[in-house]
Each structure stands twice: as structure tokens, then as C-alpha cells.
């Protein structure tokens, strides 16, 4: 997540860049990537509407993409006053200056975002290469009358006690969430008063805008009534109406809007996508009426949601746990192009659910729910050392309700994990309905893009347990298989509360066919299992079980056999095997192997830079052998 100072505000900005220069003109010259600035709508919108729709296809077409939250919206500052059209135009001008964008830009606006784009073009026509607006209008008196009425209606209705419940019942949870956003913006700012009072550009300045212009309307939207006025003011404009669509066409039919936009860029703007095939967008049918594309089986296209097809690199570290994998994750985090994702798969994967189809909202509900095992450990005062949620965080006083991705995954990525969580809460519910395994990959790709990395490497302690799931569902991922002497591993596991619970679950499944942390409400359990149920388990009971290290030797054998059988069955395309003992005996060589395998451009320098974090430890299962790692002094292990 990036914050940029512009026009006195801290502005939330996300930028995406094409991987290499693309042909920018019909002459075939390789010019710097053109810049596309994506501007969202008013009150109910944020940059998320662009991120999950056209941002990635535009990157694939060769654009540097800039998205930002408007003042008062999303994560940008929310001053109490200053919400005229001029204020929004001033913000855009200051942001482009802060980002050192000097050439003419392509402006894309959704709803009132198109009005801001056109207001900027009327003031700075030489700075604008083209404008594409969805369900919008230039800044005219007729349009502002409509906007004023809509704002007034919202300000009157949304504060009512049952307004949000009514919206959710009629239009769903996403609409209710956006209505809540609007209510907060309208209550905290002078937007309702300021925007209708805006100074509008003279009509002749609108008419003088001579760049290519595209307007996209939904056939069932009231805004399409403004198309004749747009045609009168801008005879050069291409106006496309999509039958059967409403004001939310951008998020409802991103594939259709994307097809229209890319065709317009080719035909009217002389922009020829350098990687057109990567967008997955179909061509026009030769008319200004468009049909909805057929459903796709691609997880990055399903349901019309467009995202970059699979991040350029992905890798998974598989291990029993307690064998140095956390050390590897922390060292990988020091490589600038790589997102090191920790404790994700073990927190979210259920081995039998890979093909279950969930909506984006249902998937987010899973990610944002507490993990029962972890909640139990918090209750009995045995929080694992891997939990690194900040002491001043939103859930710090109620860790039993801590969302599972906030325990380790997000705090290891960001110094402000709650902020990152809020961004994901806006984006992830917009994922299409698709199999859970596809959701996991889309989520990791989203994190990688948000942090401006080229690849992700996931590592979860005990991931050998879900190795069959991971190897089946992510066949193109590079696999690192890390092992350690079983006696040392077992002794370390016996002192770690997460593995104490994992062993308890595995033993209960073997004996009774029941996992005490996955029971249905009211489900009967054998009497001897009752003391280990989440509501009755105590720290003393768990410690007493841990005295029998043989239990953990059995767990090691079970986890190792699962991983090795899965590797033998799947035969991953790229596999690197490592041992903890080799890592501590010859760390520079082993880190070099790892860096080359993961395609680090600077693998040799990276290995030399981080090798000091690896300390040789005495073998055997005494206390000294349990300190598996140390972190480089002065580094927090976070990546944002």
C-alpha cells in the first residue's frame, strides 16, 4: 500500500507497471509505457472498482496504471470540508506532479470519476491524451442537478435505523457495505453541500476538448439519458450503450467494458496492446452494442472478473514444521521482488474443500474469521511465537476473535496489518464465485500486486499435512521440500503449542475419527476426548501430553510420509530438496541454491547479504537445539 502527499492530503495510490516496454504507435517504435489514471466514483466507490476490473487488462495492454482513492474515500485523508469539483481536479493535478507524470495521460473515470477526468481535461487539455468514462457526463449543469439530488436522497435515507438492512435484503451484502461507506463519507464531510455548489467550466471549454473520448452506458441506467447532450458537446465521442445493464456496469460486466475500451484504444487512440492475448478479452462484433461473454473456467476470468493471469512467479515451501522454514521465510522477505507469505495455507486450507465453489463474500468470510485452534491457545495463554499481531492493533484486546489472516500472514507483510486488512476487505468480496483453491491463488496474486512484487513464496509450518492439496491444486508452483532430523524436530514440536494441538487433532482423528476443533454443534464425543475440547482444554493438560515425545516422532513420521507420497504422486515440475542440517552447516551454498531456484535476479548478492542470519546450532534434542533461528538484528521481517 502506498501513500503519496498531494495537495495537502495523504492520498492512497496503487500503481501497476507493464513488465517491459511495448509498442506505443503503429510505427512499431518502443516508447515509454503510456500512463492510464483510473478515477473512481463518488461516495460508494474506491479504487477497488478499477483494481478488480480493468486495471490488470490495461497493464497487459502496455499501460502504467495509476489508481487512487479520492479525498474522503477509502484510505485517503478525509478533511471535513473541501469537496467541490475544483478540489478534486486540484488533487488530480497535484498527484500527477507528485508521481512525476509529465506526458499526456489517458484518463478513465467511473461515474463521477469521469466528470473529474473531464474537468481536468477542460483545465489542462494539453495534458490529456484520451478520456474513457463509464456511466458519466462532462461537468454540465444538467449532470450536477442529478448528482445533487442523488446526494441529498442518500444523506436523508442512509442515516435511518434500518436503511442498511433494507439495502442488504434487496440488493445484497456488497451493496449494503458500499452504502455504509457512503453514509460515513456524507456524515463526516461537507460533500452534500460543496459538490452542488461547484464552479463549472464554461461550455466552450468542454467543447474545445479535442482528444479521443469514449462514453459507455448501461441501457437500463438513468444516466444514458445524458448521451444526447454528450453527443451535442462532443461530436467526436464514441458512445456505446450496453443493453440490459445498469449504473454498476463496470463491476457487473468488466469483460464487456474491457472489450469496448481496448477496441477503442486501438481504433481511436492509436494504442496497440503489446500483449493483447494476455487480457483474455474478445474482439468487437462491429457494432456499438455488446453481448455478455460466455462464462470462463479461468480463475482470473471467472464471473467476468479480470485479473493478471497468475503472478510471474509462485513457490511453496513444504515442511513438517520446526525445521527452519520460518528462517527461510524471513530471509526470502529480504529479497526486494519477492513477497514472503507466512502461515497462510495452514490457516485457510481444508483438505477436502478445493473444489467447493464459494462467492467472493463467502471466501472473505473464511479469511476474516478466527481460527478455532488459535482462539483456544489465546484463551489458555499459550499464544505461539509466530503470532505477531501488534499490541496496539484493533483486535489486541480480543485475540480470540482475531481474523486468521491477521495472526501472522498480514503482520509479516505490513507494519500496519489492520490497514492492509481493510484494503483486502474492499477487494476480496469482489472475487467471482469459483473453487476455493482458485480463490487462494487469486488472493496471493492480489497481495503480490498490492505490494508491487514479482512473485510470492508461501510457507506454513506443518504444511506437509496439506501437501497433497497443494501439489494437486498448484501444479505450476515451484516446490521447496525442507526436512530435518526427526528426533530434533519431534523434540521442538513437543514444546510448541501449535504443534501440540496439531498432534492432538491427528491422534483424535486416528482414534475416534473426530477432530476436536472441527466438531458440529452438539455433536457427541467419547468421554475420554471431552477434556480436549476447545472449551475445556487447559494449558496444563496440553503440557502434560507434550511430555511424551514419542507422540511427536509419530507426528513427524506421518507428516513426512504424507509429503513424500504427495511429491511422488504429483511429480512437481520444479522441486528443490533441502535439509536444515545442510543449511546451518553451509548456509551460503544452500541459500545460493534456493535463490537460483526461485529465480532471484540477485541471488548471489541476496545470499551473501542474509547469510549472517543463519547460526549453526548443536544437534541433538537438548535446549540449544531448539533455537532454530535468529532474525537479522534491526529487521522486523515485514515487507511493506
Comparing 67-71, 340-344, 472-476, the range with the smallest average pLDDT is: 472-476
| DSSP assignments along 481-504, one per residue | EEE--HHHHHHHHTT-HHHHHHHH
C-alpha cell at 148: 445533487
**SS3 state at 146:** helix
Residue 284 in contact with residue 426, Cβ under 8 Å? no
Q: How confident is the model at residue 18 (pLDDT cuts 50, 70, 90)?
A: confident
C-alpha cell at 159: 442515516
Q: What are phi and psi of 581, to 5 degrees?
A: -60, -45
| Mean pLDDT (the chain, rounded) | 85
Interhelix angle for 603-610 vs 587-597, to 10°? 140
**Mind listing the pLDDT tens digit for each residue in 472-495?**
999 989 999 999 999 999 999 999
Q: Is the pLDDT of residue 278 over 60?
A: no
- Residue of 356, 608, 341, 580 whose CA lies nearest to 450: 341
Residue 292 in contact with residue 462, Cβ under 8 Å? no
226: Cα separation from own chain's centroid = 36
Q: Measure the CA–CA gap between 450 and 420, rounded to whole angstroms.
A: 9
Q: In 112-226, which ranges are continuous DSSP H helix?
A: 112-123, 141-157, 163-171, 173-188, 191-194, 203-207
Burial class, 74, CB count within 10 angstroms (exposed 0-12 / middle 13-18 / buried 19+): buried
Residue holding cell 531448539? 626
User: Strands of 35-39's sheet, edge to edge?
Assistant: 2-6, 9-16, 64-68, 35-39, 105-110, 128-134, 213-218, 238-242
**Mind listing the pLDDT tens digit for each residue in 379-416?**
999 999 899 999 999 999 999 999 999 999 999 998 88
Burial class, 287, CB count within 10 angstroms (exposed 0-12 / middle 13-18 / buried 19+): exposed
- Count other Cβ atoms within 10 Å, centred on residue 25: 11
User: Average of pLDDT values for 45-67?
Assistant: 90
User: Average of pLDDT values for 350-379?
Assistant: 88
600: Cα separation from own chain's centroid = 23
**Mind listing the pLDDT tens digit for each residue in 141-174?**
999 999 999 999 999 999 998 998 998 888 877 7
The larger pLDDT score, comparing residue 636 to residue 140, is at: 140
User: Average of pLDDT values for 126-152?
Assistant: 95
C-alpha cell at 174: 456488497
Residue holding cell 449504473? 247
Q: Measure the CA–CA gap between 330 and 318, rounded to whole angstroms.
A: 15
DSSP structure class, residue 304: G
Q: What percent of the chain has pLDDT over 90?
A: 62
**SS3 state at 387:** coil
pLDDT at 308: 37
Contacts for 550 with CB less than 8 Å, ≥ 6 apart: none
Handedness of CA 202, 204, 210, 214 (dihedral sign): positive
C-alpha cell at 467: 501437501
pLDDT at 29: 43
pLDDT at 419: 85
User: Count of H helices and E strands in the chain?
Assistant: 27, 17
Q: Is the pLDDT of residue 296 over 50?
A: no
Comparing 2-16, 238-252, 379-393, 606-620, the range with the smallest average pLDDT is: 606-620
User: Average of pLDDT values for 324-338?
Assistant: 94
Q: What are phi and psi of 106, to 5 degrees?
A: -95, 120
Q: Measure the CA–CA gap between 470 and 315, rounded to whole angstroms.
A: 11
Q: Measure the CA–CA gap between 280 and 302, rounded to whole angstroms.
A: 11
Q: Measure the CA–CA gap between 5 and 235, rounded to whole angstroms.
A: 38
Amino acid at each position: 500500500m502506498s501513500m503519496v502527499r498531494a495537495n495537502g492530503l495523504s492520498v492512497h495510490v496503487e500503481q501497476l507497471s507493464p513488465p517491459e516496454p511495448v509498442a506505443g504507435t503503429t510505427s512499431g517504435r518502443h516508447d515509454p509505457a503510456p500512463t492510464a489514471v483510473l478515477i473512481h466514483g463518488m461516495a460508494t466507490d474506491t479504487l477497488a472498482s478499477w483494481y478488480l476490473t480493468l486495471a490488470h487488462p490495461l497493464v497487459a495492454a502496455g499501460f502504467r496504471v495509476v489508481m487512487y482513492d479520492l479525498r474522503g474515500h477509502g484510505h485517503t485523508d478525509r478533511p471535513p470540508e473541501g469537496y467541490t469539483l475544483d478540489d478534486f481536479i486540484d488533487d488530480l493535478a497535484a498527484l500527477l506532479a507528485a508521481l512525476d507524470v509529465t506526458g499526456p495521460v489517458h484518463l478513465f473515470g467511473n461515474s463521477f470519476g469521469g466528470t473529474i477526468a473531464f474537468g481536468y481535461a477542460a483545465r489542462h487539455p494539453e495534458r490529456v491524451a484520451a478520456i474513457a468514462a463509464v456511466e458519466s457526463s462532462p461537468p454540465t449543469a444538467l449532470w450536477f442537478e442529478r448528482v445533487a439530488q442523488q446526494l441529498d436522497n442518500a444523506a436523508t435515507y442512509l442515516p435511518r435505523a434500518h436503511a442498511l438492512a433494507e439495502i442488504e435484503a434487496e440488493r445484497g451484502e456488497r451493496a449494503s457495505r458500499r452504502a455504509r461507506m457512503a453514509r460515513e463519507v456524507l456524515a463526516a464531510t461537507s460533500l452534500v453541500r460543496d459538490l452542488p455548489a461547484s464552479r463549472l467550466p464554461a461550455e466552450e471549454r468542454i467543447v474545445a476538448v479535442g482528444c479521443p473520448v469514449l462514453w459507455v452506458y448501461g441501457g437500463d441506467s438513468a444516466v444514458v439519458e445524458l448521451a444526447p447532450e454528450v453527443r451535442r458537446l462532443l461530436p467526436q465521442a464514441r458512445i456505446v450503450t450496453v443493453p440490459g445493464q445498469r449504473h454498476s456496469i463496470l463491476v457487473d460486466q468488466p469483460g464487456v467494458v474491457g472489450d469496448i475500451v481496448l477496441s477503442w484504444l486501438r481504433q481511436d487512440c492509436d494504442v496497440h496492446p503489446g500483449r493483447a492475448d494476455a487480457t483474455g478479452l474478445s474482439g468487437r462484433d462491429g457494432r456499438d452494442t455488446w453481448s455478455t461473454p460466455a462464462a470462463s473456467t479461468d480463475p482470473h476470468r471467472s464471473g467476468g472478473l479480470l485479473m493478471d493471469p497468475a503472478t510471474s512467479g509462485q513457490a511453496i515451501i513444504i515442511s513438517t514444521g520446526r525445521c527452519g522454514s520460518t528462517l527461510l521465510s524471513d530471509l526470502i522477505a529480504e529479497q526486494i521482488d519477492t513477497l514472503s507469505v507466512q502461515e497462510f495455507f495452514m490457516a485457510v486450507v481444508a483438505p477436502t474443500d478445493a473444489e467447493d465453489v464459494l462467492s467472493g463474500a463467502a471466501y472473505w468470510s473464511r479469511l476474516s474469521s478466527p481460527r478455532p485452534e488459535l482462539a483456544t491457545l489465546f484463551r489458555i495463554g499459550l499464544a505461539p511465537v509466530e503470532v505477531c499481531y501488534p499490541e496496539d492493533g484493533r483486535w489486541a484486546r480480543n485475540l480470540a476473535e482475531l481474523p486468521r489472516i491477521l495472526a501472522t500472514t498480514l503482520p509479516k507483510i505490513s507494519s500496519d496489518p489492520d490497514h492492509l486488512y481493510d484494503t483486502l476487505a474492499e477487494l476480496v468480496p469482489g472475487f467471482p464465485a469459483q473453487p476455493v483453491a482458485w480463490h487462494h491463488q487469486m488472493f496471493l496474486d492480489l497481495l503480490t500486486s498490492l505490494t508491487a512484487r514479482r512473485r510470492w513464496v508461501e510457507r506454513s509450518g506443518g504444511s506437509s499435512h496439506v501437501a497433497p492439496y497443494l501439489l494437486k491444486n498448484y501444479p505450476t508452483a515451484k516446490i521447496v521440500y525442507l526436512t530435518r532430523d526427526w528426533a530434533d524436530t519431534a523434540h521442538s514440536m513437543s514444546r510448541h503449542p501449535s504443534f501440540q494441538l496439531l498432534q492432538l487433532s491427528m491422534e483424535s482423528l486416528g482414534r475416534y475419527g473426530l477432530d476436536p476443533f472441527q466438531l458440529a454443534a452438539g455433536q457427541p464425543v467419547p468421554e475420554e476426548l471431552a477434556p480436549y475440547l476447545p472449551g475445556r482444554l487447559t494449558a496444563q493438560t496440553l503440557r502434560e501430553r507434550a511430555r511424551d515425545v514419542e507422540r511427536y516422532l509419530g507426528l513427524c513420521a506421518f507428516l513426512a510420509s504424507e509429503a513424500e507420497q504427495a511429491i511422488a504422486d504429483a511429480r512437481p515440475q520444479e522441486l528443490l530438496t533441502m535439509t536444515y542440517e545442510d543449511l546451518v552447516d553451509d548456509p551460503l551454498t544452500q541459500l545460493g541454491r534456493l535463490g537460483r531456484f526461485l529465480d532471484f535476479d540477485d541471488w548471489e548478492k541476496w545470499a551473501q547479504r542474509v547469510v549472517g542470519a543463519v547460526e549453526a546450532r548443536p544437534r541433538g534434542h537438548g535446549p540449544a537445539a531448539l533455537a532454530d533461528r535468529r532474525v537479522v538484528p534491526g529487521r522486523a521481517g515485514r515487507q511493506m
